[in-house]
A = this chain, B = another copy of it.
Amino acid sequence: MSSEQTKQDLSSSYFKDLLPYAETKHVTEEFVGQVTKKLIDFLEQSNDRSNKVCEFHPPEELKKKLDLSLHDKPESLDTLLSHVDSILKYAVKTGHPRYFNQLWAGVDLSALMGEWITATTNTNMFTYEIAPVYIVMEQTVLEKMRQIVGFENGDGLMYPGGSISNIQAMALARYKFCPDFKEKGIFGTKPLISFTSEEAHYSLTKAGALLGLGMDNVVKVSTDAKGKMMPSDLRKKIKEHLAKGNQPFFVTATAATTVGGAYDPFHEISAICKEYNLWMHIDSCWGGGCLMSPKHKHLMDGCHKADSIAWNPHKLMNCLLQCSVLLVKENGLLEACNSTRASYLFQKDKKLYDVAWDTGDKTFQCGRHNDILKLWLMWKAKGSNGIAEQVDIAFSNSLYLSEQVKKRDNFELLREPEGTNVCFQYIPPRIAAMPDSPEKFEQLYKVPPEIKKRITLDGTLYVGYQPLKEHGNFFRMINVAPHVTHKDMDFVLDEIERCGKDL
């Protein structure tokens, strides 16, 4: 096909020329080929440290740069391709080695191909008949992950995000506590109390609100200087609520905490849960990936004692978003808790296969996105050893960073890192020279937002800041992606200093 012909096709094209709705495939090939080329270029640019992480503009400005409005008439494929250029131009390059803003980073290519295949085979995970390959694949991977955490049997499912996994875990625990709640509701009962550390993820609080338990009944247990839940305080608070006539039912331990990266003491928490007959859940959405590393898996020691574990391979395992797993020790409970047995979807008289393979009644969702292929394909591509190596690189970078923070003037490490989070303060010389006072700290805590603004506009780095407990704003660095080096850690500190030394 001549390029002129293609040109003509692309400018006059309408959706009917595209597969699967067309008789010929050359327009499809051209369109897909051009998009693919742009995406490979985007990945290459993301890997080049001399490029900006993002060409950042505030919302109102960005809207002016994009032609977002929707019209009655179709646009030509050429116009569509120019939209793709704009999208990629202003997108955050989350695969960039200097992207550290959230608890995930990097764009793994095998996972990416998995996601492209997922999109192209466009299906849903609720029944075997429409997703046969993916259902058996999900079963295989979940079994492997149960082995890794140390559940001998059990069940599990992939959910759209770790918060939903945590919500599901809390709902399971409530069902186990009293199955009648499913039909009758919780109106007639004493308050149901759940516990998690004061540094745990906010999804537990949201879960309390959603499940009708109330945010106030998600009790915050104190943490020690390392950010770990204090078992003594957990026991004390359980007793207080029992004394009030309330009903403790659920404890969430965290691995690792969102800001501090702390791993809670699972053995001690488990002992308390057993004593008071409480469900023990581990939110290891962020830090569970250390289980892949022989060197670092000790951080999850005792996790096999939990009743359920949430683990997001899209975080420390470096898979693509969104990839979240909930593992449950007791088989059958997911279905008992969630099933309504909709007769139009989960026909018990199916003659093609055992309907126990249908997963739809294991969740409060109906449609469920296929999140398994990207994980499976990445695992095949890297092997468990390759994933372990990645995890070790992330830990090594964080250890190096924390050492550099301690060595440098004007930087202060807030805690020795346990996971890959490194929390530190940058203190500009002018503020460092001030005597300790409320005013000094007020000024200090305004530093990270200002530095973040400058760095983001320069595009050299994406890094997060936040307050925690007695500390006002400080920087939280995390490490995930395997193409990040010790030099990048030096760069992070250099950049923060460069953008903040005059403050």
Contact = CB atoms under 8 A, between A and B. Distances in A.
A154 interface: no
Contacts of A70: 140-141, 144, 376, 379-380, 383-384
Contacts of A171: 210
- Residue from A113, A144, A464 with most neighbouring chain B CB atoms (10 Å): A113
Contact of A214 (B119, B120, B122, B185): B185
A242 interface: no
B129 A68 contact: no
Contacts of A44: 19-20, 25, 28
A129 B453 CA distance: 11
A6 interface: no
Interface residues of A, number: 176
A386 B15 contact: yes
Interface stretch (A155-163, A229-237, A406-414, A495-503): A155-163
Contacts of A131: 92
A197 to B, nearest CB: 14
B369 A322 contact: yes
A9 interface: no
Interface in A71-109: 71-75, 77, 79-80, 83-84, 86-88, 90-92, 94-97, 101-102, 104, 106-109
Contacts of A368: 161
Contact of A367 (B163, B174, B467): B163
Contact of A212 (B97, B109, B185, B482): B185
A56 interface: yes
A44 B32 CA distance: 13
Nearest to A446: B349
Contacts of A112: 119-120, 122
A397 interface: no
B202 A340 contact: yes
Q: Number of copies of this chain in the oligomer?
A: 2
Nearest to A456: B352
B386 A344 contact: no
Interface in A466-480: 466-468, 473, 476
Given A107-B120, A122-B321, A351 B450 contact: yes
B476 A72 contact: no
A124 B86 CA distance: 19
Given A210-B171, A450-B351, A117 B88 contact: yes
Nearest to A121: B91
B187 A209 contact: no
A120 to B, nearest CB: 5
Contacts of A272: none
A141 B380 CA distance: 38
A110 interface: yes
A19 B47 CA distance: 7
12 contacts: A14-B382, A19-B40, A19-B44, A19-B46, A87-B373, A91-B132, A94-B123, A181-B212, A187-B189, A187-B192, A203-B366, A259-B344
8 A-B pairs with the lowest CB-CB distances in the bound complex, closest first: A212-B212, A185-B214, A344-B466, A160-B160, A115-B119, A18-B109, A20-B47, A202-B342
